[in-house]
Structure 1
Amino acid sequence: MGLELLAGRLVTPTFGGSIYVWGSVIGVFLTALSVGYAVGGRTAKYASPALLVSVLAASAAFAAAVVVGGETVVELSASLPIPTRYAAVPSIVVLFGPLTFFVGLVSPYGAELSAAESRGAASGRVYALGTIGSIIGTFGTTFVLIPALEVTVIAALFGGLLLVAALLVAEPTPRAVGKLGVTALLLLSATVVGVYGVNVGEDTLYEDQTAYSELRVGEADGVRTLYLDGVRHSAMYTDDRDGYVFEYSKYAHVPMLWQDDVDRVLFIGGGGFSGPKRFAEEYDVTVDVVEIDPGVVHAAEEYFGVSEGPNFDVHVEDGRRFLEQTNHTYDLVVLDAYQRDAVPFHLTTVEFMELAASKLDDDGALVANVISARSGAGSAFFRAEMKTMERAFPHVYAFPTSDTDALQNIEIVATKGQSWSQSELEALAGTRDVGVDLTGAVTRYTHPSEVETGDVPVLTDEHAPVDALLQGQAGKRYVVRQNNTTTARVAQPAL
């Protein structure tokens, strides 16, 4: 079980954390274990301490291979021309199939070598110990190892545990000592290469394996960036430049064009807190930020200048749960918890949108940051979210951040009060000073009548096929406007 969790963490930065990825992990592991059990049962009559040592040593050697070649194999797998929902399978098979197969041999061999009075008693004892080990591995990996160590170090640790098991059953012969010595040297060398052999082309200030993601803070050319599972989530300037690094961030200010009495703003999703900090500095408002990952909050406090104050509160919990429990009413809710390849479905449904609407003032607004194409392939999630929000709000508009049909940040703005036309917003953007220039943003105003939603569902708590809707985005070019420039890259298959 610990290996399964490790496999998920290794492939998530490239393929995302969708149900297809975790289904692939579980399926490969169960298949490899079943084959290992079957082969072990048929060959158990040949079992000996020396053979069991060889099996455990081979398992440790494959763990070393995961340490050294894990990321390379995942990248190669992402380039294969196979359907995107199956894209993670080859890398999981190559990296963890042989390792899990050898681990599957251990139980039948252990039962055969057991000194118990019967085969039934021996099998029961071995499988009970194996299940207890899985329980310890699950809780230990989840609550201790992943939050504290890098993926490569955890893989090396598992390899070391397999070597310790081999030592416990090995007979003190020169051959056994040599075999284990070579394997230990291989594992140690792999650990050194895995930990120190990676150059990301940017100064890494901080790394952490949080409960929710692989987190890294990097800095280059006066820009400090927060990465979650290898994807840029937030950034700030560390030189004399001012403003947002990512152009789409300023679109959250669109409702400020017509709102005169904004007192309280809620951000669901913190990241590097660029938006919450700007609102707190620019306007005389109280800002609440809900961020589910305490590791992200810690990184923001240490490296992005975030600190709580009389009018700035950070809440570490799920955004929907916070909305259900809060007694506050907001003038603006900014929903920035969606990723390109992993979207918490309970924050997309009509029930959630109705909950958010109930916590807004009569003229309040919600802004949702969606990563999607505007139309055609890769646009299904955006169009479904647009359709869903129309069920909860009387007025909904979209503001794409790029003129292309590539993947991009699209801000969906839903209002409870007055409706606004594009010409009205353009007039407001030209006359009102809201701290950021929105004249270009409002020119991309998109009315719901311009968005085809007939072929996508309304997302509900009972049926929110978010993973399926995101599938069409895998492999598409993702365009991000940064500091008046455009950065384009091809998204790796994510589903």
Structure 2
Amino acid sequence: MSSVPDSSGLVPSRVEFAVFVSGVASMGLEIVAGRQLAPTFGSSVYTWGSIIGVFLAALALGYWIAGRRAARRASTNALAVVLIGAALYVGLLLVLGDPLLQAVEGLSLPPRLAPILPITILFGPPTVLLGFISPYGAELVESKSTGDASGRVYALGTAGSIVGAFATTFLLVPSFGVVGIEFAYGLLLLVTAAVITPRRARATWTGLAIVTVVLLGAFAMTGVGVSLGSDVVYETQTQYQQLRVVDDDGIRTLYLDGVPHSAMDKSDPDRYVFEYTRYFHLSMLAADDVDRVLFVGGGGFSGPKRFVKEYDATVDVVEIDPAVIRTAKEYFDVTESPQLRIHNMDAREYIESTDRTYDVIILDAYRADRAPIHLTTAEFMQSVSNRMDDDGVVVANVISAREGGRSAFYRAQYKTMDRVFPQVYSFPTSTATRVQNIELVATNSPENLTEADFARRNQERAIGIDLSREIDFYQGNVSVGDAPLLTDDFAPVDSLLARQVDTEYVIERTGDNETAATP
């Protein structure tokens, strides 16, 4: 076994440094792959399963090829060439990433398998090359035995992966976009190549210079030279998701990981654009004397803003993503006041730590492809009930189908809430069987409200909005079948949501002219 005698004790050699960097880069690119694909394919278990599977397969292929060649071809120059090749592909990734994702989105591929193709094309080749580093490093590192060399290489590669995971998650993602992170890793690979390239390897140094220019040019084209487009008002990568604000025909929409979350009519900021937000006001028919309201999930704050305007009540909003809060204030006319208070923290942490009680709690933090599992369980619902008055009401905005196999999450959430609250009512927002917003209204009061009760209260109470159409969707009881009870110990939310991946999710929009009820 050849060796490079430039290591001394615990101080890593240049080869060992390259092994460490390969671990940093492979794990960092894996995490950023999830961020790059989320706007197109979502963040479902299928997307992340595809990412993990492709990266492991690519690394395994790189290990296998390099292992067969290491004894004959391993050298510091060969390591440098591999790193330069990986950096070159990262440069291509900067330019070709979004066009390829758009092209694949137009193909007729099974939704569950669709992410595999772009992940393989975009991230497979550089990951295969990064897989070369460890076998070459094991052949080159100075050691007393093959086992000792392998142990050092595995340890350094794993340590690099740990650093890559934490640095990307906690430092890079909150501070830079996908393009910036990919550029940073491409630059890191080139710097590492420069560290280990032999001084007399002129061809390698020439290649290093060329790829450096290519990488800088690619970054300039994507990060600086490409316009966001006339409809995109603002776009960023937050520490939780991709955020985009888009204007279209007078409607401003907030997209999180490519999914519309909130919308505002720029000419009438208080008008509801999405139909499901009107259902939040059903809480005013189920509760009496509403003084305190809590919204879990901010988005564009369309619900909280309307409640502040319509009712003499204080409204608290819990939103975990600080970038969403900043965006709502800048682009969706949100202003904090004594009547509208915003809390930047996890909703369960807030509910279980606050001493405030509420007349109405509205849960609006679910998505079509994922839901915060800890906000779906019976234990969480019990905490919600504990923070509500005796006649308090909770409204959960569930995204699912209303019947059939794709209604699994809806039925499980209904069963879970029904276990905690005396009364639960269901209000789908569409007659279609497709995935839609379904509002679950639950009360602490044992009084059973019929559809006629809701209709009568709609006529009698001045709540600023006519809910006659919404009440027509009333369902007092739901057959949950074999749906599981969601608990902190067992909450298979991902697998339940996975059943609706193949179905289009359509948000019903309100009409252009909304009229309020007059008692």
Q: Report the TM-score when normalising by structure 1.
A: 0.90
- Superposed displacement of residue 78, structure 1: 5.3
Pair 1:231-2:259 in alignment: yes
Query: For structure 2, which runs of at least 5 residues remain unmatched after alignment?
Result: 1-26, 513-519
* 2:275 equivalent in structure 1: 247
Aligned alpha-carbon RMSD (Å):
2.4
Asked if residue 478 in structure 1 is aligned to residue 481 in structure 2, the reply is no
Name the CA shift for 1:299/1:242 in 2 (closer, same or farther; >3 Å): closer
2:189 maps to 1:140:
no
CA contact (8 A) 2:286 2:393 kept: no
Match of 2:250 in 1: 222
Q: Any idea what SS the aligned residue of 2:367 has?
A: coil
Provide the C-alpha distance between the structure 2 equivalents of 1:76 and 1:393, rounded to a whole number of angstroms.
47
Checking the alignment, whether the CA contact within 8 Å between 1:402 and 1:479 is kept in structure 2 is no
**30-39 or 51-60: bigger deviation:** 30-39
> Displacement of 1:123 after TM fit?
4.4
For 2:488 and 2:298, locate their aligned partners in 1 and report how far apart those are by CA, in whole Å.
24
User: For 1:254-269, what aligned pairs fall within 5 Å after superposition?
Assistant: 254-269=282-297
Which of 435, 453, 467 aligns to 1:424? It is 453
Question: Match for 1:256: what amino acid?
Answer: M
Is 1:161 matched with 2:188?
yes
* CA 1:198–1:380: 2 relative to 1, 3 Å: farther
Which amino acid in 1 is paired with 2:210? V
Q: Does 1:36 find its partner at 2:62?
A: yes
Distance 1:190 1:423, change over 3 A: same
Q: Any conservation in 2 of the 1:429–1:437 contact (CA below 8 Å)?
A: yes
> What is the alpha-carbon distance in structure 2 between the residues aligned to residue 337 and residue 444 of structure 1?
22
Larger CA deviation: 330-339 vs 320-329: 320-329
Verify: 1:434 aligned to 2:460, yes or no: no
Q: Is the 8 A contact 1:386 1:412 kept in 2?
A: yes
For 1:35-114, what aligned pairs fall within 5 Å after superposition? 35-45=61-71, 46-75=73-102, 77=104, 84-114=111-141
- How far apart, in 1, do the equivalents of 2:421 and 2:439 lie? 15
Corresponding letter in the other structure for 1:61: L
Q: Tell me by how many angstroms 1:348 deviates.
A: 1.1
Match of 1:24 among 50, 54, 68: 50
2:329 to 273, 295, 301: 301
Amino acid at match of 2:336: E
- Select between 37-46 and 249-258 the one with higher mean Cα deviation: 37-46
Aligned in 2, Cα 1:127/1:454: closer, same or farther, shift over 3 Å?
A: closer
Offset at residue 246 of structure 1 (A): 1.3
Structure 1, unpaired ranges of 5+: 486-495
- Report the equivalent of 2:21: none
Q: 1-side partners of 2:332 and 2:504: how far apart?
A: 29
> Is the 1:84–1:471 Cα contact (8 Å) retained in structure 2?
no
Q: Answer yes or no: is the 8 Å Cα contact 1:60–1:160 preserved in 2.
A: yes
Q: 1:372 aligns with which of 400, 408, 414?
A: 400
State the secondary structure of the residue aligned to 2:507. Answer: strand
Give identity over the alignment, percent. Answer: 50
Question: Deviation digits for residues 268-294 of structure 1, max 9, x if unmatched?
Answer: 111111111111121111111111111
Distance 1:478 1:158 in 2: 35
Aligned equivalents of 1:471, 1:141: Cα separation in 2 = 27
Cα distance in 1 between the residues matched to 2:366 and 2:150: 47
2: distance between equivalents of 1:469 and 1:254?
Answer: 27
Question: After superposition, what is the alpha-carbon deviation per residue over 1:49-89, rounded to whole angstroms, capped at 9, x for unaligned?
Answer: 33222211211122123222223444555566666544433
| TM-score normalised per structure 2 | 0.86
Given that residues 147 and 208 in structure 1 are in contact (C-alpha distance below 8 angstroms), is that contact kept between their aligned partners in structure 2?
no
CA contact (8 A) 1:32 1:98 kept: yes
2:237 paired residue number = 209
Give the AA of the match of 1:456: A
User: Which residue in 2 is equivalent to 1:9?
Assistant: 35
Q: Which moved more, 1:257-266 or 1:25-34?
A: 25-34
Q: CA deviation at 1:135?
A: 3.1
For residues 106-125 of structure 1, the aligned pairs below 5 Å read 106-114=133-141, 119=146, 122-125=149-152
Q: Quick one: which of 472, 477, 480 aligns to 1:443?
A: 472
- Residue 432 of structure 2: SS of its match in structure 1? coil
Displacement of 1:359 after TM fit? Answer: 1.6
Alpha-carbon distance between aligned partners in 1 of 2:468 and 2:329, rounded to the nearest angstrom: 32
Change (3 A) 1:484 1:253: same
Q: What is the alpha-carbon distance in structure 2 between the residues aligned to residue 72 and residue 257 of structure 1?
A: 49
Residues in 1 aligned to 2:314 and 2:45: alpha-carbon distance in whole angstroms: 37
Secondary structure at the counterpart of residue 263 of structure 2: strand
Kindly provide the CA deviation profile for residues 318-343 of structure 1, in whole angstroms up to 9, marking residues without a partner as x. 11121111111111110001011011
Could you tell me which of 319, 339, 346 is aligned with 1:291?
Answer: 319
The corresponding residue for 2:516 is: none
Compute the displacement of 1:435 (Å).
1.3
What is the alpha-carbon distance in structure 2 between the residues aligned to residue 197 and residue 402 of structure 1?
Answer: 43
Return the offset for 1:189: 3.4
Counterpart mapping for 1:331-480 below 5 A:
331-417=359-445, 418-448=447-477, 451-480=478-507
